[in-house]
Structure 1
């Protein structure tokens, strides 16, 4: 597993550049239809923070976690919340 974490730590900016702006709205909306409006969301393996930010903007409480410290740092900047590793 350390190889995987090391990969994402070393390639975090490239990963974010390729994933953060992907249009996931249909999938995100389908997910939101399945949960209560006041539900809390755990975004485990949040990567760039793309989904976390979307759910926060929709008014949900989100806890975001990722195994890569570098992705956590960058996702925290992007989402405005602490992303935990």
Structure 2
């Protein structure tokens, strides 16, 4: 059964409040987390050339914004938590827009790549098709979309104070393909454990 918009708003607001209250602690834990593999997966799919214009969706305190910028790309963040917006601007020196997933207002066809690392799993399942449609519209023709999400078997609800949806690969593939993306590749993280034990699914897509 679909939730009314007021309940969806409450779910997302609770998750944003969780991050607002723990912004400094979250940054301390994630600042040095190595996701070079994920950034490289997006850039590899974009191919030679550039510099590229990249939208970091749910950019948090700005770790990956800064990394993309230091590689010479134009990186722009979008983030719902106000404290993260300020932190990301200060840390990365990049432009950051304060928008949450239920109210995305993105310029159409502006971005070469969209990078959503550990963010889209906070979108309630019923709202994900609309979010993906807005990301699709924001990409240029043949643009590349990267996403990394925690792995599960369809669980949806609060986990550690944050709303989360945990997808398996077939379910995630179906949802993203339905939004107009063609799969390029996917892999599991961390890569040093058997696939059955890997807790994250990373995937790369091309706009069609």
Decide: shared fold, TM above 0.5. Answer: yes
Tell me, yes or no, if structure 1 residue 18 matches structure 2 residue 23.
no
Query: Where do 4+ consecutive residues of structure 1 move more than 4 Å?
Result: none
Tell me, yes or no, if structure 1 residue 28 matches structure 2 residue 44.
no
1:80 aligned residue (88, 93, 113):
93
User: Aligned ranges for residues 3-82 of structure 1 at < 5 Å?
Assistant: 3-36=14-47, 37-82=50-95
Normalised by the length of structure 1, the TM-score is 0.91
SS at match of 2:54: strand
Give the structure with the larger helix fraction: 1
Q: Which runs of 5+ in 2 are unaligned?
A: 1-11, 99-208
Q: Alpha-carbon deviation of 1:53?
A: 0.6
Deviations 1:19-74 (A, max 9, x none): 11111112211211111523210001001211111000001011101100001111
Normalised by the length of structure 2, the TM-score is 0.39
Give the structure with the larger strand fraction: 2
The alignment of Structure 1 onto Structure 2 pairs a total of residues equal to: 85
Q: Which runs of 5+ in 1 are unaligned?
A: none
